[in-house]
Chain A
Amino acid sequence: MQTSLIRKIIFDEKSRSLLVQTLVIGLFAVFIYLIVQQTAYNLEKRGISSGFDFLNMSAGYDISIRLIPFTSEDTHLRAYFVGLLNTLLIAICGCFLATILGFLVGIIRLSTNWLFRNIAYVYVEFTRNVPVLLQIILYYSILLHLPKTKQAIPIFENFFLSNRGLFSPSPIFKDGFSIVAWSFVLAIVFTFFLKKSLKKKQEVSGKQYPIFLINSAIIIFTPIFVYYIMGRPLDFELPVLKGFNFKGGMVIKPEFIGMLLGLSIYTAAFISETVRSGIISVSKGQREASQALGLKSNLVMRLIVIPQALRVIIPPLTSQYLNLTKNSSLGIAIGYADLVHGFGGISLNQTGRAIEIMLMVMLTYLTISLTISVFMNIYNKSVQFKGNA
């Protein structure tokens, strides 16, 4: 009786896998417990204090690139947030640019134009086979070798590129600008409903509307219109060369531009391969069937090829976003003030709380990565096929 119960637990498929999983988790918990205990003991013995009280102490260093105000009197915790925002800034801008560039290059690689196709090919093979760190340093060095501010290269009249970064006009918001901003938001909401109702209309009448064009026009022109009605409540402070430096405006630092170029050009090469293989993965038969039905080539792309290609593109695209985000920690090499550079570097050196700080930084990256994964997974589910096709 007893042996048969044990037999049942060990040889039953379900209870057996449950047993194994419980054992593994249990062993892992014991392992972690032992490590934490030992570390705490070691730290105590050597008189090293631990804990997170340092977060409220004054940081004592400056951060040159910041989205929120920061001085050396501010706390380490604030330094953490400054770094976090910089990491998010480079990750978001990088993913955005890499996606656009990657899709473009991926489509060009399938073009029938020999020259374009091969330029894209060389670009991909070069950038994805050279370590991204070297590329970041290369772009940064090129930026540092631009002319001095006095001889800055003007771009579109009000932008100036120099070895200290890109000097650009800074916006000054006056009374009533919030109304312009709201009109922009409302325009987006409105187009969302308009899209729905036009689709309904198409379903009823069969007439096709250039929905994308109409909506783009609404989103672009509504705020411009409101802007003029409100008496142009937005000014730009232009950068003006005074002596050896620019006064007014704002400057986009070469560290940021270097990181952005390095990360997005590198990642775009991988994304373009993903996009190319996604489009190729849609079988020739799919295009032929659509053509035989009389669909024009732009509709074949939009209704048949792209929706099916996305299914293949999304999972590797997600991992490219994750790579880019994690690679942004390379900012430390050229002094881009991301999370690792300031909080994970200088704060760590000053306080000596390596374990606490690394834990915080790692958990932060983990959270960012998991957030990206969750959203991409939701999107991915929506583009998968039903059944075993």
Chain B
Amino acid sequence: MSTEQVIQLDKVNKWYDDFHVLKDIDLIVEKGQKIVICGPSGSGKSTMIRCINRLEAHQNGTIIVHGTELTNDLKNIDIIRKNVGMVFQQFNLFPHLSVIDNISLAPIWVKKMPKGEAEEVAMAYLEKVKIPEQAQKFPGQLSGGQQQRVAIARSLAMNPDIMLFDEPTSALDPEMIKEVLDVMIQLAEEGMTMLVVTHEMGFAKTVADQMIFMDEGRIVEQAKPEDFFNNPKSDRTKLFLSQILNH
């Protein structure tokens, strides 16, 4: 079976002024792969995945998504953003719009879908994240876990091939983490290509094909979960894992 490479990062470097935040990042993601990224705070995890849909621009190296290279070309950026969904730590729902309008907004304005059809799509994804009864509410009227599930539905409604998650459960109370992780596990089972920054190691063990450990702007270790958790090669990974698993 030939595998299709959907994301290719080749010697990617990025600076914030003098600060070298990404150093020679090489990464290949195949279709349907689930990659979990972890590492200490400030190691560049968010920056790396934000480069993939150009919320941040890299200065050096190449990023290719679905064969389209990310450059200053606005057309390319549009094409890539249409195929890549993103879920944020802070949900970032639109507070002035109802749940259903949050989800149907992009299909209507980006895909130029008729409103009725977009709302049907929105309802279908709300069913999928198990909160269809909240359709008419506003984000401010929902719990954190519900908001994050709406945010996932909003991304999925654009029918992306790749989903990026940046610490999707870090802002949630413990009892809500599971409901969001369950949705993500279901998504993984359906074959979505996923890049997930998270410190939920239980989730990582369940779904990850590859684990990535980042530190100080570099990918320090990349391995299958069995190897990653049982025989980490680098000392920094060991230290990090001991801290995170013991707490």
Interchain CB contact under 8 A, B53 and A292? yes
Which of A45-53, A94-102, A159-167, A381-389 makes up part of the contact surface?
A: A381-389
With an 8 A cutoff between CB atoms, is B106 at the interface? yes
Question: Does A295 lie at the interface of the complex (its beta carbon under 8 Å from any beta carbon of B)?
Answer: yes
Known: A206-B113, A303-B109, A387-B141. A291 touches B55 (CB 8 A): yes
Find out whether the CB atom of A291 lies under 8 angstroms from the CB atom of B88.
no
Check if A206 sits within 8 Å of B112, measured CB to CB: yes
Is there contact, CB below 8 Å, between A286 and B138?
A: no
Q: Mark B50-74, 1 if CB is under 8 A from A, else 0.
A: 0001010000000000000000000
Q: Does B140 interact with chain A (Cβ within 8 Å)?
A: yes
Cα of A307 to Cα of B102 in the assembled complex, Å? 14
Interface size on A, residues (CB 8 A): 31
B108 touches A293 (CB 8 A): no
Judge whether B1 is part of the interface by a CB distance below 8 angstroms: no
**Interchain CB contact under 8 A, B81 and A291:** yes
Q: Does A13 contact B (CB under 8 A)?
A: no
Chain B nearest CB from A206 CB (Å) reads 4
Interface string of A270-309 (1 = CB under 8 A from B): 0000000000000101101111111110010001100110
Decide yes or no whether B149 CB sits under 8 A from chain A.
Answer: no
Q: Which of B94, B118, B142 contacts A289 (CB 8 A)?
A: B94
Contact in complex: A286, B92 (CB < 8 Å): yes
Pick the interface stretch among A85-93, A197-205, A358-366, A369-377.
A197-205
Enumerate chain B residues within 8 angstroms of A204, measured Cβ to Cβ: 114-116
- In the assembled complex, the Cα of A208 lies from the Cα of B113 at a distance in Å of 10
Give CA–CA (A387, B141) in the complex, Å.
5
Contacts A293-B155, A294-B106 given; indicate if A288 touches B92 (C-beta within 8 A): yes
**B91–chain A nearest beta-carbon distance, Å:** 8
Once the chains bind, are B141 and A205 in contact (CB under 8 Å)? no
With contacts A288-B55, A386-B141 known, is A293 near B154, CB below 8 A? yes
Q: Number of residues in B with C-beta < 8 Å to the partner?
A: 38
Chain A residues in 8 Å Cβ range of B114: 202-206
Q: Take A203-B116, A389-B139 as given contacts and tell me if A285 and B81 are in contact as well, using a CB distance cutoff of 8 Å.
A: no
- Which of the residues A202, A293, A308 comes within 8 Å of B110, measured between beta carbons? A293
Q: Would you call B115 and A295 a contact (CB within 8 A)?
A: no
The verdict on A294 contacting B95 (CB below 8 Å), with A206-B108, A207-B112 known, is: no
B110 near A286: Cβ-Cβ < 8 Å: no
Chain A residue contacts of B204, Cβ below 8 A: none
Residue of A nearest to B139 (CB): A389
Q: Is B130 an interface residue (CB 8 A)?
A: no
Within B106-156, which residues are at the interface with A (CB < 8 Å)?
A: 106, 108-118, 137-142, 151, 154-155
User: Is B105 part of the binding interface, using a Cβ–Cβ cutoff of 8 Å?
Assistant: yes
Cα–Cα, bound, A203→B111 (Å): 12
Instruction: Check if B88 sits within 8 Å of A308, measured CB to CB.
Output: no
Known: A204-B116, A206-B113, A207-B112. A296 touches B96 (CB 8 A): no
Q: Among the listed A296, A311, A389, which residue makes an inter-chain contact with B138, where contact means beta carbons less than 8 Å apart?
A: A389
- Is the pair A311, B96 in contact by a Cβ cutoff of 8 Å? yes
A299 to B94 Cα, complex, angstroms? 14
For A293, the closest partner residue in chain B by CB is B106
A285 contacts across to B, CB distance below 8 A: 88, 90, 92
Q: Do A389 and B140 touch (CB < 8 A)?
A: yes
Select one of A290, A299, A304, A385 contacting B140, CB under 8 A: A385
Taking the nearest CB of chain B, how far is it from the CB of A365, in angstroms?
Answer: 34
Select A385's contact among B96, B106, B115, beta carbons within 8 Å: B96
A147 to B117, CA, bound (A): 66
- Which residues of the partner chain A approach B55 to less than 8 Å between Cβ atoms? 288, 291-292
Task: Please indicate which of the listed interface residues A296, A299, A304, A389 has the most CB atoms of chain B within 10 Å of its own CB.
Answer: A389
A sample of 24 cross-chain residue pairs with beta-carbon separation below 8 angstroms, ordered by A number, consists of A203-B114, A204-B115, A204-B116, A206-B115, A206-B117, A288-B55, A289-B86, A289-B92, A289-B151, A290-B94, A292-B86, A293-B81, A293-B106, A293-B155, A294-B78, A294-B81, A307-B96, A308-B94, A308-B95, A386-B137, A386-B138, A386-B141, A387-B141, A389-B140
List A residues at the B interface (Cβ < 8 Å): 202-208, 283, 285-286, 288-296, 299, 303-304, 307-308, 311, 383, 385-389
